[in-house]
């Protein structure tokens, strides 16, 4: 087994990679602990965030340390079996993360477009089955093809090196990155359209009831004068009484409407906030993983370019993808008030 040569690059990358691994594990543990412990976050939909956090923690424990040793030592220092485990785990957990993001996007879409039905449907078992589907689809996309290629000797894993079968990166780029990203883009566009239409509907109803309230007041003023001038007349009193009851009834209807309207507005604000949060999560995912897929596909079509590319650039691009696993909890802290409050409690920050 090769030994570590402590060059300047190794000395710089060593603490950075350890920090990425450490913060990925700790931050995602915070997410899991927060959702499972604090009442304000104990909603079924947040179980999908737990599923995403488990994938990120698994990546930090099973993939990052081995990849770090590989990048630092140089040539692949382990045997063929470990190479197979490392590459399949790497591809699988990456795919699982984006499949969980797709599941989260679908849950948001159902919650906004069909809130009543989805409220009853969104049980703990439903969310768990949705997360299990994300993990299963990722398994079918990544591990099954590699297992089949190995089982039928279509591809033999190298003994002194470690790399994917030729063409696998091109396949997995579309299967785990392009197609899911395309699906999420469509889903979030539909969510944005639905939220915008609901806000316009609420504004229209608010303006209608405000207009009705203003038009009803002038008709009530003469009745107030009649009541003051003709208190002793029974007929006038009855008319005023009926008018007053009509006004009370109208006011009650308006109060009920505005109460419902405020609840609807609050619900839409929460959904829109969640939409912004997950759009940011997806955006960070693209920033972190797009360079990796672009670079690997360039190397697939032009292998000679890989030998000419500085190893430092390759390592930075590859580890930029791993940084995504540490970013999700930070995004929740900054853009989600509930998570921010809970994280402050955990860290005992006033």
d(CA 64, CA 326): 12
Residue 166 included in any domain: yes
pLDDT tens, position by position, 76-116:
878 888 888 888 898 899 899 889 988 988 998 888 888 88
pLDDT tens, position by position, 238-281:
555 555 555 445 455 455 555 455 555 555 666 666 667 767 87
Residue 160 included in any domain: yes
162 and 81 in contact (C-beta within 8 Å)? no
Residue 142 included in any domain: yes
Residue 1 included in any domain: no
Residue 103 included in any domain: yes
Residue 242 included in any domain: yes
| Residue 6 banded pLDDT, cuts 50, 70, 90 | low
Structural domain that includes position 117 = 8-347
pLDDT tens, position by position, 153-191:
777 777 777 888 777 888 888 888 888 888 888 888 888
Residue 11 in this model has a pLDDT that exceeds 60? yes
Work out the angle at residue 88's Cα, subtended by the Cα atoms of residues 83 and 89, and round it to the nearest 5 degrees: 100
pLDDT of residue 209: 55
Residue 2 included in any domain: no
| Residue 224 banded pLDDT, cuts 50, 70, 90 | very low
d(CA 256, CA 249): 10
pTM, two decimals, is: 0.76
Sign of CA dihedral 290, 294, 299, 301: positive
Residue 239 included in any domain: yes
pLDDT of residue 53: 92
Nearest residue to 322 via CA among 10, 33, 70, 41: 70
pLDDT of residue 72: 74
pLDDT tens, position by position, 294-341:
888 888 888 888 888 888 888 888 888 889 888 877 887 677 788 888
How many structural domains comprise the chain?
Answer: 1
| Residue 289 banded pLDDT, cuts 50, 70, 90 | confident
- What Rg do the C-alpha atoms of the chain give, in angstroms? 29
Residue 136 in this model has a pLDDT that exceeds 90? yes
pLDDT of residue 220: 45
75 and 156 in contact (C-beta within 8 Å)? no
CATH code of 85's domain: 1.20.1070.10
């Amino acid at each position: 087994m090769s030994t570590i040569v402590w060059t300047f690059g190794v000395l710089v990358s060593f603490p950075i990679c350890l920090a990425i691994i450490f913060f990925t594990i700790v931050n995602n543990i915070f997410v899991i602990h927060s959702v499972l412990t604090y009442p304000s976050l104990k909603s079924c939909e947040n179980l999908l965030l737990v599923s995403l956090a488990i994938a990120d923690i698994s990546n930090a424990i099973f993939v990052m340390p081995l990849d770090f040793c590989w990048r630092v030592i140089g040539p692949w220092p382990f045997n063929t079996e470990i190479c197979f485990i490392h590459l399949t785990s790497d591809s699988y957990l990456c795919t699982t993360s984006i499949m969980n993001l797709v599941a989260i996007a679908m849950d948001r879409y159902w919650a906004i477009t069909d809130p009543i039905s989805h409220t009853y449907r969104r049980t703990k078992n439903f969310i768990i089955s949705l997360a299990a589907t994300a993990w299963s689809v990722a398994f079918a996309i990544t591990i099954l093809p590699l297992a089949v290629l190995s089982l039928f000797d279509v591809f033999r894993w190298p003994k002194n090196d470690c790399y994917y079968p030729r063409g696998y990166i091109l396949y997995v780029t579309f299967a785990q990155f392009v197609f899911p990203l395309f699906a999420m883009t469509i889903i979030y566009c539909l969510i944005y359209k639905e939220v915008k239409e609901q806000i316009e509907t609420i504004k229209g109803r608010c303006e209608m009831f405000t207009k009705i309230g203003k038009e009803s007041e002038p008709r009530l003023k003469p009745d107030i004068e009649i009541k003051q001038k003709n208190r002793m007349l029974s007929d006038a009193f009855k008319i005023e009484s009926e008018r007053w009851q009509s006004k009370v009834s109208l006011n009650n209807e308006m109060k009920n409407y505005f109460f419902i309207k405020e609840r609807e507005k609050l619900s839409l604000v929460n959904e829109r906030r969640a939409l912004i949060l997950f759009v940011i999560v997806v955006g960070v995912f693209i920033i972190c993983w797009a360079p990796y897929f672009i670079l690997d596909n360039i190397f697939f079509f032009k292998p000679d370019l890989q030998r000419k590319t500085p190893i430092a650039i390759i390592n930075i691009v590859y580890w930029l993808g791993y940084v995504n696993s540490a970013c999700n909890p930070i995004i929740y802290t900054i853009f989600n008030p509930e998570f921010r409050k809970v994280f402050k409690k955990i860290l005992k920050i006033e």
